[in-house]
Amino acid sequence: MSRWWLALALACAAPVWADSNLPSADWADRQLPNPGQEAAARRLMDEIRCLVCQGQSVSDSDAELAGDMRALIRSRIAAGERPDSIRKWLIQRYGDWISYRPTAAPVTWPLWLAPLAMLAAGLLIIRRRIRMRRAG
């Protein structure tokens, strides 16, 4: 019986061992010395979704991967790379889903057009109802 309790305790403690013992990346939690570069990095970090948390941006997430992505963004901006090119690189590497700012790619056109089509359909239904009440 005591073996079952030990197995259960070890299974519950497994997530504790999932954390890395590695130190965080250099720029993960430190700001860039240049205020303009740090502001650009912050804007970009607010736009990029954390791959672990999925509901938070990398600037809000405490996940280790989010810290690595913050460090990557800051180091590339400090090296002189433009935020737009970093964003494009991240989208190319991880897909459109990583960005909170939607793209206007042809695959997303139905998402942009669907609300307009539904509004037009609603207006047509209202128009028909009004005509039917006036005629009847």
Residues 67-87: tens digit of each pLDDT: 999 999 999 999 999 999 999
**DSSP tag of 57:** B
CA distance 133 to 110: 34
| Residue of 16 and 10 predicted with greater confidence | 10
**DSSP tag of 50:** P
Residue ranges of domains in the chain: 23-102, 104-136
- Highest average pLDDT, of 5-14, 22-31, 122-131, comes from 122-131
Architecture of the domain made up of 23-102: Orthogonal Bundle (1.10)
| Residue of 50 and 12 predicted with greater confidence | 50
Residue 41 near residue 32, CB atoms below 8 Å: yes
Residue 104's pLDDT is what? 73
Question: pLDDT exceeding 70 applies to what percent of the chain?
Answer: 84
| Arithmetic mean of pLDDT over the chain | 84
**DSSP tag of 26:** T
- Neighbouring CB atoms inside 10 A of 120's CB total 10
